[in-house]
Amino acid sequence: MNYRTIDFPKNSLFLVTGGAGFIGSNLCGAILSMGHRVRVLDNLSTGYEKNIAGFRTHPKFELIEGDIRDFAACARVCTGADYVLHQAAAVSVPESIERPLAYTETNVMGTVNMMQAAAEAHVKKFVYASSSAVYGDDLTMPKREDTVGRRLSVYAVTKYVAEEYAVQYTTHYGLDCYGMRYFNVYGRRQDPNGAYAAVVPKFVEALLRDMPPTVNGDGEQSRDFVYVEDVVQANLLACAAPHEAAGEAYNIASGKQSSLNEMYAVLKRLLGKDIAPVYGPERAGDIRHSGADIAKAREKLGYTPAYDFERGVAEAIAWYRENL
């Protein structure tokens, strides 16, 4: 199903937390293009003003600078909202191991603040970002939602705890919650800079600058790379999903996995580069293999990814050529 054909009530108000971030800003653009209103809550700690600069003069766009750790701010922005797309989070696996208190405050208490505020405001649907990190050391492939292992990082724990709260808010507080277990999302506006940046933009930036990227480990670890436009699709489909699908988490992925070495070979070919990578140590807390079974999201949400890796990364490369 094409999310742009979803018949939301005219002029619906979507609250996007973390709307100045990578995924959040893509959600904002899609919603505005559908003719609905967007309110963003962001403290601009990891999001960027430049990501939403093109929306600031739009009559249906509103930015409120605030923090999900502040319940009063959460309550204020939920007032009048029809749908909440909760993307705000601290997202680095290695950093979460270094800063467990900060990650717990943001990802657990921040999410519970948002759920409580949304429930009190009688929001129709609460769609939140979870992560494939919740699968931990489970070796089952592909990953299915009902089988998880022991979490390998504080980040993974915070996302799993958020899923448990979502069950409680759906069951006891009248808030339909839908968890998006993102796999390796990539695409336009994803930041290639910083020690904890995602692998696709880091590799693309290095190749565009004729520099060898660093691969953590031997490069044979596998990932399910999903283009951001398919992630947008999943979030908006969840906003239109029935109550019977609430209180659940869903794999949001392409349904295909590639090793980092295979992914790098595609990037080299598309960019016309022949630069060997540098292999470094593995990162603490990383999962070795990650691939998704997306049957549940397809069945209950109507999710069907439209982008394979080559198509998606070609669009991403075009964006990076213009914006780096």
Nearest to 275, CA basis, from 260, 288, 290, 265: 265
Q: Using one digit for the tens of pLDDT, what is the confidence trace for 159-195?
A: 999 999 999 999 999 999 999 999 999 999 999 987 6
Is 113's pLDDT higher than 90?
Answer: yes
101 lies in a domain?
A: yes
User: Which of the following is catalytic: 155, 178, 182, 227?
Assistant: 155
pLDDT bin (cut points 50, 70, 90) of residue 1 is low
250 included as an active-site residue: no
Distance CA 223, CA 257 (A): 5
- Tell me what pLDDT residue 20 has: 97
Q: Per the domain annotation, does 142 fall within a domain?
A: yes
Into how many domains does the chain fold?
A: 1
- Measured from the Cβ of residue 104, the count of other Cβ atoms closer than 10 Å reads 17
289-320 in b/e form (b: 16+ CB < 10 A) is bbbbbbebbbebbbbebebebeebbeebbeeb
- With respect to residue 27, please indicate whether it lies within any of the assigned structural domains: yes
Report the predicted TM-score, pTM, of the whole model to 2 decimal places. 0.95
3-class DSSP state of 258: strand
Residue 131 forms part of a structural domain: yes
Decide if 5 contacts 233 (C-beta within 8 A). no
Residues 252, 181 contacting (CB under 8 angstroms) = yes
Q: What would the pLDDT profile of 264-316 be if each residue is shown by its tens digit?
A: 999 999 999 999 999 999 887 777 888 999 999 999 999 999 999 999 999 99
- Percent pLDDT > 70 in the chain is 99
Give me the pLDDT at residue 285, please.
75
| Inside any domain, residue 35 | yes
Q: What angle do CA 7, 85, 51 make, to 5 degrees?
A: 105
- The pLDDT, as a whole number, for residue 3 is 82
Residue 278 falls within a domain, yes or no? no
Contact 108, 158 (CB under 8 A): yes
pLDDT number for residue 195: 65
Tell whether 323 is covered by a domain: no
The span from the CA of 220 to the CA of 215, in Å, is 10
CATH code: domain of residue 91:
3.40.50.720
Q: Which H/E stretch holds residue 111?
A: helix 110-120
Please give the pLDDT value at position 286.
78
Domain residues for 33? 12-186+226-255+293-306
Look at residue 172 in the predicted model and tell me its pLDDT.
98
Residue 218 within any structural domain of the chain: no
**pLDDT for residue 196:** 66
Q: b or e along 5-28 (b: 16 or more beta carbons within 10 Å of the residue's beta carbon)?
A: eeebeeebbbbbbbbbbbbbbbbb
- Are 92 and 24 in contact, with CB atoms under 8 Å apart? no
Percentage of the chain exceeding pLDDT 90: 92
Q: Is the peptide bond before 142 cis (omega within 30 degrees of 0)?
A: yes
Residues 6+ apart with CB under 8 A from 4: 30, 33, 34
